[in-house]
């Protein structure tokens, strides 16, 4: 019997690791673009000021990169130890993207990061610039393969489950690599990194303005970061819209939970906060049609017919089919060698019901509903903060062009205090994505209760608290080195 405490602690441990990992990743992705744009300006104008400006942000990029390095590896340790059933079940679907990511990350980053940091006086300006861009592109490519793996968990495609090996075997690499959920998730996540890098840069630059130092450097940095951030945020909004349509189609329970929508229908309203709704807006966001049908939590549990006339099974029907698939799986594994003909018949039953495999582990229909308040509010935190930060960057850019930012203390304070908010928005987004798909480790195929390894709760608890201590220590080290570097400031000549 799997202890529910074991599931809770294993999930908490994985969530903790992923959340810490996502502190470092978005800043790497965002600063990479900002410093590359700055170096490009240096390349075009041959102005040493821009070289020194780029070098300062590169230094902060280096600190974040170094402290964040290999945090993601811990997730892979956890797959093998805490999620061994899952790791085997996903088969080469996970192995291929993660292997490509590992090789690419190692070679691109080891090569181009080194040229970027060590090569200023050793390689040509053009080669150095290319290395800086390739460092950022390498980080984005790494993120792509990770998100291909994550996208597959949200919307499994391109595979065939083999009951003999108990693995999902890849039958179409391109279906996995170009999974629309993964593509949208890639752009949404990477561009949110641009937003993080931009808010971080603007906030740090505003700190210099508040201290009355490095004014020229700060104003130049604000302009570049605001433009990168606004472009990134607008693209995040566009991909967020696409993501909403995908969630409505592939994970309707996640959407219903994010909206706290008990009973759906056509012209479904969008909840701004409890009690304030925009009529028809959810239908527009989810289906791009004001008359589009959006199922609520009860509709999904009871079964419903969508706008296309497609009937979606109730929870009980899915659980029944899931249990049928699991029973067939059990019998097939028992008789496949001793009675191959009978096994072939059983396999037919399995194949007819395997789409609902994971539902066989669901004991109660309510287990199919993720924690609604957490997802509902996380979604609002993500969207609310994202909108506020977009407005902030537009205001900062506007007054920057007007030449007034350096005198606007209140705006400088708001920008500085907004640095934690961009991280909060990113974490909230991942809570919506990952908690929103509970109870599934792999959507519809494997719930967390079946994906987990049968370890002792004490062991998982111990590693959880070790991680809290280790990660917090490394975060404190990063912040300490980062603050020292910021305090020291760039080596630009302000009066040029």
Partner 1 sequence: MNRIRTIFNFYIEGFRNMTWGRPLWIVIFLKLFILFFVLRLFFFKPVLSGKTESEKSDFVGGSLVERIDE
Instruction: Give contact residues for partner 1 (rule: CB under 8 A).
Output: 1-2, 59, 62-63, 66-67, 69-70, 73-74, 77-78, 80-81, 84-85, 87-89, 114, 117-119, 122, 163-167, 323, 326-327, 329-330, 333, 360-361, 363, 449-450, 453-455, 459, 462-463, 466, 470, 474, 477, 481, 485
Q: By C-beta, is 24 or 194 nearer to partner 1?
A: 24
Question: At closest approach, how far in Å is the CB of 94 from partner 1?
Answer: 14
Q: Where are the alpha helices (DSSP H) in 168-280?
A: 173-177, 180-211, 215-250, 252-259
- Quote the least distance from Cβ 275 to partner 1, whole Å: 41
Q: How far is the CB of 143 from partner 1 (least distance, A)?
A: 20
Pairing of strands 304-305, 311-312: antiparallel
Shortest distance, position 62 Cβ to partner 1, whole Å: 7
Alpha carbon 237 to its chain centroid, in Å, reads 15
**What is the closest distance, in whole angstroms, from the C-beta atom of residue 77 to partner 1 in the complex?**
4
Q: Which tokens go with 422?
A: 């961009």
Which runs of E-coded beta strand occur in 54-210?
159-162, 167-170
- Any long-range contacts for 238-244 (C-beta under 8 Å, 24+ apart)? 239/184, 239/187, 239/188, 239/191, 240/188, 240/383, 241/285, 242/184, 242/188, 243/184, 243/185, 243/188, 244/285, 244/286
Which is nearer to partner 1, 108 or 411 (by Cβ)? 108
Q: Name which of 110 and 339 has its Cβ closer to partner 1.
A: 110
Considering the complex, state which of residue 409 and residue 484 has its C-beta at the smaller distance from partner 1: 484
C-alpha to C-alpha distance for 456 and 442, rounded to whole angstroms? 23
Which lies closer to partner 1 via its Cβ, residue 52 or residue 267? 52
- Which one, 118 or 173, has the nearer CB to partner 1? 118
Give me the least distance between CB of 477 and partner 1, in Å please.
6
Q: Which two three-digit tokens encode residue 8?
A: 């809770």
Rounded least distance, CB 331 to partner 1, Å: 10
Smallest distance, partner 1 to C-beta of residue 367, A: 12
Inter-axis angle of helices 419-435 and 180-211, nearest 10: 160
- Non-local (6+) Cβ contacts of 301 within 8 A are 314, 315, 365, 368, 369
Give the residue with the Cβ less far from partner 1, 24 or 430. 24
Distance of CA 101 to the CA centre of its chain: 16
CA-CA distances (angstroms) from residue 316 to 261, 313, 343, 368? 20, 8, 27, 11
Per residue in 346-359, is it b (16+ CB within 10 Å) or e — as a string?
Answer: bbebbeebbebbbb
Rank residues 2 and 419 by Cβ distance to partner 1 and give the closer one.
Answer: 2
């Amino acid at each position: 019997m799997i202890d529910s405490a074991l599931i809770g602690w294993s999930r908490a441990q994985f969530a903790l690791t992923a959340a810490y990992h996502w502190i470092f990743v978005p800043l790497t992705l965002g600063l990479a673009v900002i410093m590359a744009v700055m170096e490009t300006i240096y390349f075009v104008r041959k102005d040493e000021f821009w070289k020194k400006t780029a070098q300062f942000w590169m230094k902060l990029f280096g600190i974040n990169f170094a402290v964040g390095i290999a945090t993601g590896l811990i997730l892979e340790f956890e797959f093998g130890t805490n999620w061994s059933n899952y790791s085997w079940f996903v088969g080469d679907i996970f192995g291929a993207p993660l292997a490509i990511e590992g090789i690419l990350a190692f070679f691109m980053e080891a090569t181009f990061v080194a040229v970027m940091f060590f090569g200023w006086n050793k390689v040509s300006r053009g080669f150095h610039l290319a290395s800086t861009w390739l460092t950022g592109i390498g980080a984005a490519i790494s993120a792509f393969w990770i998100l291909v793996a994550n996208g597959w968990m949200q919307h499994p495609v391109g595979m065939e489950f083999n009951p003999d090996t108990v693995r999902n075997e890849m039958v179409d690499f391109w279906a996995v690599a170009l999974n629309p959920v993964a593509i949208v998730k890639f752009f949404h996540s990477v561009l949110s990194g641009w937003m993080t890098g931009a808010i971080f840069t603007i906030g740090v630059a505003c700190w210099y303005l508040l201290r009355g130092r490095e004014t020229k450097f700060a104003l130049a940095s604000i302009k570049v970061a605001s433009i990168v951030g606004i472009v990134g945020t607008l693209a995040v909004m566009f991909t967020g819209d696409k993501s909403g349509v995908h969630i409505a189609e592939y994970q309707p329970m996640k959407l219903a939970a994010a909206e706290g929508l008990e009973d759906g229908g056509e012209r479904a309203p969008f909840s701004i906060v409890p009690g304030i709704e925009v009529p028809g807006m959810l239908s527009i966001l989810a289906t791009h049609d004001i008359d589009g049908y959006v199922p609520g939590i009860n509709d999904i549990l009871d079964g419903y017919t969508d706008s296309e006339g497609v009937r979606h099974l109730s929870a009980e029907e899915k659980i029944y089919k899931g249990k049928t698939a699991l029973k067939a799986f059990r019998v097939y594994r028992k008789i496949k060698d001793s009675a191959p003909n009978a096994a072939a018949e059983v396999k037919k039953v399995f194949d007819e019901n395997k789409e609902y495999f994971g539902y066989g582990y669901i004991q109660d229909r309510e287990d199919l509903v993720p924690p609604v308040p957490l997802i509902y509010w996380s979604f609002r935190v993500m969207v609310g903060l994202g909108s506020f930060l977009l407005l902030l960057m537009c205001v900062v850019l506007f007054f920057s062009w007007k030449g007034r930012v350096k005198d606007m203390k209140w705006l400088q304070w708001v920008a500085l205090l907004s640095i934690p908010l961009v991280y909060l928005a990113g974490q909230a987004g991942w809570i919506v994505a990952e908690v929103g798909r509970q109870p599934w480790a792999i959507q519809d195929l494997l719930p967390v209760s079946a994906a987990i390894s049968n370890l002792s709760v004490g062991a998982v608890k111990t590693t959880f608290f070790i991680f809290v201590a280790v990660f917090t220590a490394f975060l404190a080290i990063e912040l300490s080195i980062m603050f020292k570097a910021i305090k020291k400031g760039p080596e630009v000549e302000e009066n040029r």
